[in-house]
A and B are shown apart, each in its own frame.
Chain A
Amino acid sequence: MIIGLDVGGTYADAVLLGPEGLINFVKVSTDPSDLFTTVLTGLEKVTQGIDPLQIQRLVLSTTLSTNAIVQKQMPPVGMIVSGGPGVDARLYRTNDHYCVVGGSIDHRGREIEPVNAGEIRKIAETFKKEGLARVGVVGKFSVRNPSHELKIAEILGDRFEKVFLGHRVSGNLNFPRRIATAFLNAAVYPIHKNFFEAVKKSLEKKGLNVPIHILKADGGTMRFDSSMDFPGQTILSGPAASVMGAIAFASPETESLVLDIGGTTTDMAVLLNQVPLLNPLGITLDCHKTLIRSLETHSIGLGGDSAVRVKDGRIVIGPDRMGPAMAYGGSTPTPTDALFVLGKTSNGDREKAVQGIESVAGALGMDPEQAACRIFDAACTQILSEAREMIRRINSKPVYTVRELWEGTCVKPTEMLILGGPAQYFAEHFREISDYQVRVVPHWGVANAVGAALARTTCEVALLVDTEQGIATAPEEGISERVGRNFSRDDALQKAFELLRKKALEKGADPEELEMEVIEDLQFNMVQGFYTTGKNIRVKVQVQPGLIRGFSQGVQHAASQA
């Protein structure tokens, strides 16, 4: 049996899955001031009456790090940044203790200016005096040559609790995002560490001695201990959990649009043949643009509790939420109230809902039933148009080869999978006004927890080979090796797959579940004068997000029986 637990803003959902499908699920209220108790209560309830020895794994997804960042409650961090020529690194300041230092590396990874050890020592002393325990070190082009970051780390020595190096948090180019990513990792580290160590300890006390995995924003998992090196990857795992939960019910060989219609927002994502689309760059959270891998999701300010107003004779829904629906004691009419008027929902105060919709109807000069219809239709239409816009954006993503541009692969989902409270009413209407094959995800209320439980371990490896300089580097893996002049693209792919396999297993993947694929494969002749002097090979491989096999089949099967 496996457990998935997803802590959201309002509720925490926990599920217990067996090979036969969903065994048990619970929903507990989230106490934002005490997520620890929330998590433990959820786990306790879902495992009630179950022999702890039967549980094989536990996947957790929480808003812990996300909250700390959004509420700007992060402990202080020291940042050491070396930029060199180009855009002034001082413009990318992330926090108070942010020092720009000398030293630079060029785009081929060649040293232009060495690290000034004296300068670093001085900064280390200052940081120490200021009581900083965590430090981020980021250099421009450190993913081409990490030696400067390593040198700085060496100088810092063991004076600090934890040092995060830019080239280890992402192998992708983008200096400002690398700075932000290293910063966020360092900032949420103590919060993440204290929390999960406490969770682990209390579970062990209860005899629940299972491998703990943490859900990441890319819909994959990582082992508890490796999450200590990459705590930033847990940011925004919530939306990913719901998308993963929908995957079990997506049709194969189809492109699907996933809609999670919540109270405040509707979150959208796209699946290609049951594989969620990844964001090409990384998460943007608050003012931080990062290199943290994530699913391509789009969130709009339109949900069941969005405020409904009339402006210039037209219905406007959201983007704000003024409180719950009037049927549940709120003071502003909402799409949920419209559902009450239409008789689709009844477990609340219908009178209040009618009152709310009447005010809208008055402004529009129609009767409440009619107004409710219009509100509901407007909500659906707006969701559809935002979905179209998201798909347009995905399809207008630039490509850099002639082949890709001419082939013009185009995402065009034909299936719609809906989660969320009013899912079935929305589904009915979407069927009427769109060409999608519309389906409601079974157990949508806990689909997020199901998604977390079933998510497989994901990871990515980038390998860059420069045979002119005779170097192969996989920055995130801390690898920089000499290679011969004849090192080929096939050698590079083989090497990358080896590294990926090793990394995935370390991060907790099941060796039987390693679905590895190539996501970038480029080779360039390097020419000086008119002679080929080497090859520049760039490959990237990944374990794509997906579901662990054994248990997902049970869930699918049980749903098809229902």
Chain B
Amino acid sequence: MLQARHKTGLVFFPAFDWAISPTHPEREERLLYTQDQVFEEGLFDIEGIQEFKPELVEELDVKRVHFCVPSVGRVMTESHFISAGGAKTIARAVMEKKVERGFALVRPPGHHAMRVVHGARGFCNVNIEAIMIEYLRKAYGIDKVAIVDTDCHHGDGTQDIYWHDPDTLFISMHQDGRTLYPGSGFVQEMGGPTAVGTTLNIPLPPQTSEEGFLYAIENVVLPVLQDFKPDIIINSAGQDNHFTDPITNMNFSAQGYAQLTSLLKPDIAVLEGGYSIEGALPYVNVGIILAMAGLDYTYVKEPNYDPESIRQTAQVTRRIESVCDQVMDVWKHRESLRKKAMTGKDLENRTRHIFYDTDQIVENQFETLRVCPDCSGVLKIDSSSDRGREIMAVHIPRKACPRCVELGYQWYETAKKGRYGQVFLQDRPRDLYLES
């Protein structure tokens, strides 16, 4: 009888009655063939693999992470409450040691959702990994978290949420932003002044295949994780690097994903993208589940898998080696880079224009961070969209110093008297969320 070497929990929620639109890649059918393959392989019967029913996430869990405009209820559909809840369920099962590792095979995904949410971007409304992580911090006292995003698209939403957080290491490996949505995720993007180096981007050239991905894992991700020593490792497990994916240009495989999972050993994996619903997802997911459980995945292969025909060129290999060197350079010099970024600054401003491709919304942000010598600094965001009123959002970070807490409340009170349609405050130290 088959027995998992690592007790593995799964939340499987294919949302068979939810779609962005009938022919959208994020539609009812997306996990249908994955379900068929997982059921037919009998994976839920394996000793040591356990399926959990997802819970519904609570508004409070969402408010720890997001400023939802105009409200949590208006930006989330019923399905989002379940996919975020599914990630939370699996995380709890891991923390309570019901299982050693967990995989939330849920949809809709979340890694393009940023801290301020006016609608859906990149098929995402709320960031399900971030909601899960902040719940873990609150409920189980987890401190240092590493997120490794292996989706083909840059995880710009997760990057935005943790841009100023030195306790969350965010590593994204993805197809080069010059060739794919959302067009970001370059090596130079390495975090805000108080968190330089805990955001790392590994842009990979189109046509990267198994050896390229595994090279980046072995030569960047694993050494960095070893230095950072996270309490927990999260994998944003997008599956759109597959050679059959219709919206990307990479050459990864089910075998490659399984090997990547074996090397990374994530405590929790959360499904992100992946739109080759027949040719890739059924095989990739079986590979990932077997790898997480420590079972043999040698025979997991797509029907049309031919490693020779998708092998990357020598030019691609050289490009990847060079990118990996640059990223390791950032990581090695993060302390001095951080010092330099903070020196002589009291406030740091950023202006950004954010496009919500899914909902066709344009947002303008003006962000101000207090570059604090004692904590990661209080943050305020002035945001307006072409859909509605201007809002002000204040974020007091989890380990804020008294001065930053005080300034956060000052900003909040001042904004309330100002021109804003809505004013929000996240008081993370007290787990308090205000709005007016």
Contact = CB atoms under 8 A, between A and B. Distances in A.
A106 interface: yes
A401 B41 contact: no
B283 A289 contact: no
B23 A405 contact: no
B244 to A, nearest CB: 12
Interface string A160-177: 000000000000011111
Contacts of B37: 86, 107
Interface stretch (A18-26, A487-495, A510-518, A525-533): A525-533
Contacts of A281: 45
B23 A530 contact: yes
Contacts of A405: 13, 53-54, 56, 82
Interface stretch (A328-336, A361-369, A391-399): A391-399
Given A88-B296, A91-B2, A108-B278, A400 B40 contact: no
Nearest to A86: B41
A287 B1 contact: yes
B49 to A, nearest CB: 12
B301 interface: yes
A287 B278 CA distance: 33
A381 B236 CA distance: 45
Contact of B23 (A110, A140, A525): A525
A525 B36 CA distance: 16
Given A107-B36, A107-B37, A140-B40, A532 B22 contact: yes
B357 to A, nearest CB: 15
B53 A396 contact: yes
B23 A87 contact: no
Interface string B12-53: 111111100011000111001101110111110100000111
B200 to A, nearest CB: 35
Contacts of A175: 40-42
Contact of B29 (A86, A398, A527): A527
Contact of A400 (B12, B286, B295, B303): B12
B388 interface: no
B23 to A, nearest CB: 5
Contact of A401 (B16, B22, B27): B16
A145 B164 CA distance: 54
B231 interface: no
Nearest to B32: A524
Interface in B68-119: 78-79, 82
A52 B94 CA distance: 64
Contacts of B54: 398, 405
A174 B2 contact: no
Interface residues of B, number: 48
A436 B122 CA distance: 52
Contacts of B39: 173-174
Contact of B15 (A401, A526, A531): A401
Interface residues of A, number: 42
Contacts of A110: 303
A531 B300 contact: no
Nearest to A404: B17
Contacts of B52: 396, 398
B282 A107 contact: yes
A529 B27 CA distance: 13
B290 interface: yes
Max chain B C-beta neighbours (<10 A), residue from A106, A107, A175:
A107
A21 B11 CA distance: 49
A526 B29 contact: yes
Max chain B C-beta neighbours (<10 A), residue from A88, A281, A289:
A88
Contacts of B41: 86-87, 175-176
B226 interface: no
A525 B302 CA distance: 23
A464 to B, nearest CB: 10
Max chain B C-beta neighbours (<10 A), residue from A91, A175, A527:
A527
Contacts of B79: 402
Nearest to A104: B303
Given A398-B12, A524-B28, A174 B301 contact: no
A149 to B, nearest CB: 14
A196 B247 CA distance: 61
A87 B299 contact: yes
Given A398-B53, A399-B53, A400-B16, A112 B303 contact: yes
Contacts of A112: 303
Interface string A116-147: 00000000000000000000000011001000
A174 B40 CA distance: 4
A522 interface: yes
A252 interface: no
Contacts of A144: 36
A107 B22 contact: no
A291 to B, nearest CB: 10
B246 interface: yes
Contacts of B33: 107-108
Given A86-B286, A87-B290, A401-B15, A289 B27 contact: no
B301 to A, nearest CB: 4
A448 interface: no
A405 B12 CA distance: 12
Nearest to A533: B23
B254 to A, nearest CB: 9
A104 to B, nearest CB: 8
B315 interface: no
B303 A406 contact: no
B313 interface: no
B135 to A, nearest CB: 19
Nearest to A396: B53
Contacts of B35: 400
A475 to B, nearest CB: 13
A536 interface: yes
B32 A536 contact: yes
A394 to B, nearest CB: 11
B283 A85 contact: yes
A495 B17 CA distance: 23
Contacts of A526: 29
A403 interface: yes
B322 interface: no
Interface in A77-120: 83, 85-88, 91, 106-108, 110, 112
Contacts of B22: 525, 527, 532
A380 B190 CA distance: 63
Max chain A C-beta neighbours (<10 A), residue from B29, B51, B78:
B29
B301 A85 contact: yes
Contact of A173 (B36, B51, B303): B36
Nearest to B22: A525
Given A396-B53, A399-B53, A400-B13, A87 B2 contact: yes
Nearest to B283: A85
A525 B37 CA distance: 19
A108 B36 CA distance: 9
A169 B223 CA distance: 52
B42 A177 contact: yes
A106 B283 CA distance: 11
30 contacts: A85-B299, A85-B301, A85-B303, A86-B41, A87-B295, A88-B296, A106-B303, A107-B36, A107-B37, A141-B40, A176-B45, A177-B42, A398-B53, A400-B13, A400-B15, A400-B35, A401-B15, A402-B79, A403-B17, A405-B13, A406-B56, A522-B16, A524-B16, A525-B27, A525-B28, A527-B23, A527-B27, A530-B23, A531-B23, A536-B29
Interface of A: 83, 85-88, 91, 106-108, 110, 112, 140-141, 144, 173-177, 281, 287, 289, 396-403, 405-406, 522, 524-527, 529-532, 536
Given A402-B82, A406-B56, A529-B246, 18 more contacts: A85-B283, A85-B299, A85-B303, A86-B37, A106-B303, A107-B33, A107-B40, A176-B45, A287-B1, A398-B11, A398-B12, A400-B16, A402-B79, A403-B17, A405-B54, A524-B28, A525-B27, A527-B27
CB-based closest 9 A-B pairs: A176-B42, A173-B39, A524-B29, A107-B36, A401-B17, A173-B40, A398-B53, A85-B301, A112-B303
